[in-house]
Chain A
Amino acid sequence: MPDIDTGRFDAPRQKTPASLLDEARRELSEEILRGDGGRRALARYSERLDGLIAQLVAAAPETAVPVALIGIGGYGRRQLCLHSDIDLLILFGGPIGDAEERVLRAVLHPLWDLGLVVGQQVREIGEFASLEVDNPEFLMALVDARLVAGNPALFARVQDAIHDPLTHAHLLTALEKLIDERHAQFNATLYQLEPDVKDAPGALRDLTATRWIAALSDPSLLKRGIGDPTRLADAEDFLLRVRSVLHYETRRHHNVLNHALQERAAEILGYPGVLPQQRVERLMSDYFRHARVVMRSLESARRLAPVPVGQNLGRINSTVRFIDLKQAAIQPATWLAAFQAALDASGTVADSALACIRQHADQFKVEDFFPTPAHRAALLHFLKPQAGLYARLSEMHDCGLLGRMLPPFQAITCRVVRDFYHKYTVDEHTLLTIRNLERLSTRASADRHRFANLLEDLASPELLVLALIFHDVGKWRDTEHATESVRMAREMFDRLGLDADARDVVEFLIDNHLLMSQVAFRRDTEDPEVVRQFAEVVGVEERLKMLCLMTLADIEAVSLETLTPWKEELLWRLYVDTYNHLTLGYGDELIGPTQAGTSDLLASRPVDLTKEEITTFLEGLPRRYLQLFDREAIYRHVQLSRNIHPDEVHLWLEQKGPAWELTVVTLDKPFLFSNISGVLSSFGMDILRGHAMTSPHGLVLDVFQFTDEERFLALNPDARERMFQVLDDVVSGRSTVSERLRGRAESLFHRQSPRFMPVVHCDNDSSRRYTIFDIIADDALGLLYRISRVISRHGCDVDLVLIATEGQKAIDVFHITKAGHKLTEPEQRELLAHLQQMLEGGYEID
């Protein structure tokens, strides 16, 4: 048995467990009869039991898996009464096998043989990963956990799991319910003539509950609630002394102070009086006096306890405050969490917390606020547009935190730039842009819904907010500010360790934040060349949407009058024209043999790739490809395309945030796209966005981002291999996707009528090479499979696909051909009708 910690106990080894127990009981009984079976005596009895258990553990066989014996509940509090159950958590650091069972027997059997009632919980440490699903009474008992014997590291892990703000909040909620339910059994009054000294209102459980509430929310409550914490300690000692008498007299776990026992208790506890009645009256008078103290303390704790919302953070009503201001003053990494908690609760940060931050913010630098990747991720999470973000950012700015966390922002504090348009200082203008975005997400007026939909569609709206925060920081000096803003932001992003993809987006937005208004209001947007040039700069729809929203928010923050419906309309029209250009026209713009802008890509290539390999791979793909993927992804695609043969698939799967991304490289063949998307659906994957591209040599590159709705990838260690094998089998023709989907037939093919009417639009004009089908439908599992299957059954080739999801809507754009040509009018009509029919539920696809 490793790491047995028995050093604390001087248990005489030569004594048997029975003699140890007898001795402990005899000692406690004597104390009880002296009227002194209170806190001190019970602590001593508990420790004697510790010694007994430690002795049993020391004698138990050794195991490779560490074990800890942890006292919980009353035993954990060292308040074990003469006939109390011994609440014991026997915790193993790994799976419980035969060897561990032997340890259990070696410890539990002797205890049972001694006639002790053991309330044992046998657990593996892994079970503590999700505490919230556990029995609330067990979780409450863990609050008083203490190590009796065994591995201290294992015990520390339990402590860490319990003492987490979210667990504390969960426990407090559970505790409130338990208290109410228990009080209801006693008609919610403490004035019971025959009280249960354990469970009645004002009795021991309430006393423990009061201490738990303080421990879980704010330890200072005990001092603030009733004024004198010694009164609570006195009440506890009294109640325990009474309970000890009850156990002693009844020789069992009996806690009701009934009339008969009141006389005996009054006598043992030494109450004066000639007649038993007089002694009893004095005992009960004491009882009610103490029970009242307990009850008032509990009520006060319940009333004043903040809800734990983070490390050293509590919320009362909707105000978030630091529990311990001294701790907060030296823990700047916890400050952002206060504002996040206020956002989450639609509340505010307490003045005391703001004052603390104001007083100490100057002592810290950026790295102190964001010491770990988790803290940096928390900043991005905080910046997601939602109600209250502007107010919280303004508070952070007012107390000096924003400028310390993000120093470039400090440079524009109260900065005045005089021009004809701006009506606010640069810092306030910046924060107002975020308020405008926030309003778009929370209460967009009817004419703004079109923009609100764009915001809803963004995969990372926090990057837009980050870009807004920095877009005008370059105005600290009077020269061209966008470039300076980008320079300052870059330095900041280095310190924040922002990942490359996010940096590209944010820097692009800052650098181009004036571009869209210049084009929309100053250029002839009816000229397709103007739109084409703008689309070329923007590159992909996600950036277009962000830039459009940034422009809207920026103009609106200049003054109340600046953003007119007229400007909104011009902005929207430029957005729509550019969006259509990006999604409908991109198939005609292909990468040539000497494509501009690829020199860096070729120069930085990994050693195992040749220039020829890269240029051959790129040639003939839409130019958009170069804007969609970063270098690393492109190199990977080239590597995946090596040595590919008909019927083979080369695959790459990686996790990207909450979603997964699957890259498939293969050679084109009929039904390919529907087969691949069908396989993903057969594993329960919900495809969110993606791209499918085909090069003129028939090389197919499909990239799908999806969520693993059924947690197949998370729960199965061999999930990746299984998914790859199925893709391989289906693409090679060894099995069919329809077989795999049979089990899901109900959900895929016999869906209920859609929530809104699907839209299918055929466009034969936007592209020289392709007929384009724009499909907007209810997002549903297997939708892409169903659509592409209909297209393939019409003998059409799926050449390019754009997949997007906006809220509940799937927005898919298919570029298709038939025998290498655009579809004829009858072919378009027939396919359109079948697609529409299928989406409305009336067309069987298999």
Chain B
Amino acid sequence: MKLIKSIVRPNKVDEVKDALEKLQISGMTVTEVRGHGKQKGHTAIYRGKEYNVSLLPKMKIEVVVPDAIADDAIKAIIQAARTGEIGDGRVFVLPVETTYRIRTGERDL
């Protein structure tokens, strides 16, 4: 199993969700986050004053998927979230050792 953490533009969340659902991946965690990548944000001007927008609002989407469909899921996310411009975000893939259902305590395979 893989944990796929995607940091995407806020307006891309719905498209990423739709793409994942097409792969039958329906369980996910979506979090509002702020951060920056290599560009470390940018400078904006308001009323003549420059100010640095270092932490940009992004959405984090986390899904845990079987190894077999991990690549498809990653591809679907990238395709749905891409605009081609700086700031499109990142996808991180981590191995998952095991998961448990809290309600029943059973181990999920």
Residues of A within 8 A of B (CB): 521-526, 564-567, 569-570, 573, 576, 579-580, 759-761, 763, 774-776, 811
Are B47 and A774 in contact (CB-based, < 8 A)? yes
- Closest A residue, CB atoms, query B87: A526
Q: B94: CB under 8 A from chain A? A: no
Which residues on the B side are within 8 Å of A523 (C-beta)?
11
Are B87 and A761 in contact (CB-based, < 8 A)? no
Are B49 and A522 in contact (CB-based, < 8 A)? no
Are A570 and B10 in contact (CB-based, < 8 A)? yes
Interface centre among B14, B33, B34 (most CB of A within 10 A): B34
Are B33 and A566 in contact (CB-based, < 8 A)? yes
The 4 A-B pairs of least Cβ separation, nearest first, read: A761-B48, A774-B48, A566-B32, A759-B48
Known A-B contacts A522-B14, A523-B11, A566-B32; the reply to A763 vs B49 at CB < 8 A is no
**SS of A interface (majority):** mixed
Which residues on the B side are within 8 Å of A759 (C-beta)?
47-49
Could you mark each residue 7-29 of chain B with 1 if its beta carbon is under 8 Å from any beta carbon of chain A, else 0? 00111101000000000000000
Give bound CA distance, A237 to B84, whole Å: 98
Which residues on the B side are within 8 Å of A763 (C-beta)?
45
Report which of B12, B14, B33, B45 forms a contact with A761, defined as CB distance below 8 A. Answer: B45
B27 CB to closest chain A CB, in angstroms? 18
Which residues on the A side are within 8 Å of B9 (C-beta)?
524, 526
Q: B106: CB under 8 A from chain A? A: no
Are B11 and A576 in contact (CB-based, < 8 A)? no
- Closest B residue, CB atoms, query A530: B11
Are A567 and B47 in contact (CB-based, < 8 A)? no
- Closest A residue, CB atoms, query B31: A566
Q: B85: CB under 8 A from chain A? A: yes
Q: List 9 A-B contacts (CB under 8 A).
A: A522-B10, A524-B9, A566-B33, A569-B57, A573-B53, A573-B57, A774-B45, A776-B47, A776-B48
- Closest A residue, CB atoms, query B53: A573
Are A524 and B11 in contact (CB-based, < 8 A)? yes
Are B48 and A775 in contact (CB-based, < 8 A)? yes
A-B pair number, CB within 8 angstroms: 51
Are B85 and A526 in contact (CB-based, < 8 A)? yes
Which residues on the A side are within 8 Å of B33 (C-beta)?
566
Give bound CA distance, A521 to B32, whole Å: 11
Give bound CA distance, A526 to B57, whole Å: 12
Are B32 and A776 in contact (CB-based, < 8 A)? no
Which residues on the A side are within 8 Å of B46 (C-beta)?
576, 579-580
- Closest A residue, CB atoms, query B46: A576
- Closest A residue, CB atoms, query B14: A522
Known A-B contacts A566-B33, A776-B49; the reply to A522 vs B11 at CB < 8 A is yes
Which residues on the A side are within 8 Å of B48 (C-beta)?
759-761, 774-776
Are A566 and B83 in contact (CB-based, < 8 A)? no
Which residues on the A side are within 8 Å of B102 (C-beta)?
none
Q: B44: CB under 8 A from chain A? A: yes
Give bound CA distance, A241 to B9, whole Å: 93
Report which of B32, B50, B55, B83 forms a contact with A564, defined as CB distance below 8 A. Answer: B32
Give bound CA distance, A639 to B31, whole Å: 58
A779 CB to closest chain B CB, in angstroms? 14
B37 CB to closest chain A CB, in angstroms? 14
Are B57 and A566 in contact (CB-based, < 8 A)? yes
Which residues on the A side are within 8 Å of B47 (C-beta)?
759, 774, 776, 811
Report which of A522, A524, A570 forms a contact with B57, defined as CB distance below 8 A. Answer: A570
Which residues on the B side are within 8 Å of A564 (C-beta)?
32
Are B53 and A567 in contact (CB-based, < 8 A)? no
Are A576 and B85 in contact (CB-based, < 8 A)? no
Which residues on the A side are within 8 Å of B85 (C-beta)?
526
Which residues on the A side are within 8 Å of B45 (C-beta)?
580, 761, 763, 774
Give bound CA distance, A774 to B50, whole Å: 12
Report which of B11, B14, B32 forms a contact with A567, defined as CB distance below 8 A. Answer: B32
Which residues on the A side are within 8 Å of B53 (C-beta)?
573
Give bound CA distance, A525 to B48, whole Å: 21
Give bound CA distance, A522 to B11, whole Å: 4
Are A569 and B34 in contact (CB-based, < 8 A)? yes
Are B57 and A761 in contact (CB-based, < 8 A)? no
Give bound CA distance, A763 to B46, whole Å: 12
Give bound CA distance, A570 to B10, whole Å: 9
Which residues on the B side are within 8 Å of A774 (C-beta)?
45, 47-48
A43 CB to closest chain B CB, in angstroms? 72
Give bound CA distance, A576 to B45, whole Å: 8
Give bound CA distance, A776 to B47, whole Å: 7
Interface centre among B12, B47, B87 (most CB of A within 10 A): B47
Give bound CA distance, A480 to B6, whole Å: 34
- Closest B residue, CB atoms, query A809: B47
- Closest A residue, CB atoms, query B42: A526
B58 CB to closest chain A CB, in angstroms? 9
Give bound CA distance, A761 to B43, whole Å: 14
A326 CB to closest chain B CB, in angstroms? 56
Could you mark each residue 46-64 of chain B with 1 if its beta carbon is under 8 Å from any beta carbon of chain A, else 0? 1111100101010000000
Which residues on the B side are within 8 Å of A576 (C-beta)?
44, 46
Interface centre among B14, B46, B50 (most CB of A within 10 A): B46
Give bound CA distance, A522 to B50, whole Å: 26
Interface centre among B10, B14, B85 (most CB of A within 10 A): B10
Which residues on the A side are within 8 Å of B49 (C-beta)?
759, 761, 776
Give bound CA distance, A707 to B34, whole Å: 45
- Closest A residue, CB atoms, query B49: A759
Which residues on the A side are within 8 Å of B10 (C-beta)?
521-522, 570
- Closest A residue, CB atoms, query B55: A569
* Given A580-B45, A761-B50, A774-B48: 19 more A-B contacts, CB < 8 Å: A521-B10, A521-B11, A522-B10, A522-B11, A524-B9, A524-B11, A524-B83, A569-B34, A570-B10, A570-B57, A573-B57, A760-B48, A761-B45, A761-B49, A763-B45, A774-B45, A774-B47, A776-B48, A811-B47
Give bound CA distance, A570 to B53, whole Å: 11
- Closest B residue, CB atoms, query A777: B48
Give bound CA distance, A452 to B33, whole Å: 24
For window 61-100 of chain B, which residues contact chain A by CB distance below 8 Å? Answer: 83, 85, 87
Give bound CA distance, A324 to B29, whole Å: 62
A780 CB to closest chain B CB, in angstroms? 17
Give bound CA distance, A570 to B34, whole Å: 10
Give bound CA distance, A811 to B48, whole Å: 9
A498 CB to closest chain B CB, in angstroms? 32
Are A566 and B34 in contact (CB-based, < 8 A)? yes
Give bound CA distance, A811 to B49, whole Å: 12
Which residues on the B side are within 8 Å of A522 (C-beta)?
10-11, 14
B46 CB to closest chain A CB, in angstroms? 5
Which residues on the B side are within 8 Å of A567 (C-beta)?
32
B31 CB to closest chain A CB, in angstroms? 9
Give bound CA distance, A54 to B73, whole Å: 105
